[in-house]
Amino acid sequence: MARIRYGARTEAEIAAARTASSKLPDIWSTGVVAVWESDPDAVAAVLPPPLKPTGRPLVRANISKVDLPGYPLGAGSVAVAAEHGGVTGWYPLVMPMTHERALIGGREVFGEPKKLGEVEVERTGLVVRASLARHGIAFVEVRGAVSGDLPLPEPTQKTDFYFKFLPAVDGSGFEADPVLVHCVRNEKVRKLEGVTGDVVLRESMYDPVADLPVRSVVEITIGEKTTDQQGRVVERVSAQALLPYVHQRYDDPAQILDGPPEGSV
């Protein structure tokens, strides 16, 4: 009988897949990072407990093209500075990806707020433009001119905070208490340049980052880097405390509350 592809994999096949994924070479991306100071009340308002604001209301847009062999990927995020348990990091609100493959693992394993979107990074001479777009709206655009080389930073660790949860079948909330994930990224940079420019936020009902206004631009850079990441669950969090923020993950805020239609089988 021919192989039934939806059938169970053997233990050897599962082990081979794990081994292959654990031996990936360094994957380098070219990206624009913009950091700006925003309204402190707005930044505090988007942080679900137990995350807390830091001493400075910073927002970061990261817009990258990733050199995956035969599989070029656009990847981005918009995140706010946050703190938990003495650890300072970033809480991403939206992470547009250009391919479903990059979406699935991040959302299902780490709880990353990834969504399909358009990601552009363009450089012509010294002129740089990068944007994140969904539903035809470039809700973040960074534009400017390269001002010169910057010193290469030492390899560093950065932490992102995610909430991983499973919506309840009956639409009542969650199947179990959500968990807070600390995702630690080891980052190496091989090229870094400063950019003199600005950040444009456009109104979008789906990705309302325009609610985090640009009070002042802290820095804009363009560079080449590689990262790996490891996540760990640090605590279970209150379902009732997180539920008011779950709409951040969905284009339709009612989606998390969708239960089965009456009479459905």
Q: Among 65, 54, 194, 27, which residue's Cα sits nearest to residue 126?
A: 194
Farthest CA pair distance, the chain: 66
Enter the pTM of the model.
0.90
Beta-carbon count within 10 A of 32 CB? 27
CATH number of 25-248: 2.40.400.10
DSSP state of 170: T
The tens digit of pLDDT for each residue in 67-79 reads 777 778 999 999 9
Q: Among 129, 161, 151, which residue's Cα sits nearest to residue 47?
A: 161
Tokens read off for 234:
């640090």
Q: Among 169, 170, 176, which residue's Cα sits nearest to residue 237?
A: 176
The tens digit of pLDDT for each residue in 36-64 reads 999 999 999 999 999 999 999 999 999 99
So where are the chain's domains? Answer: 25-248
Could you read off the pLDDT tens digit of each residue along the chain, which spans 265 residues? 688 888 898 899 888 877 766 555 678 999 999 999 999 999 999 999 999 999 999 999 999 999 777 778 999 999 999 999 999 999 999 999 999 888 888 899 999 999 999 999 999 999 999 999 999 999 999 999 999 999 999 999 999 999 999 988 887 889 889 999 999 999 999 999 999 999 999 999 999 999 999 999 999 999 999 998 899 999 999 999 999 999 999 987 665 555 444 444 3
Q: Give the Å distances, CA to CA, from 58 to 11, 12, 13, 39, 254.
A: 46, 47, 45, 9, 29
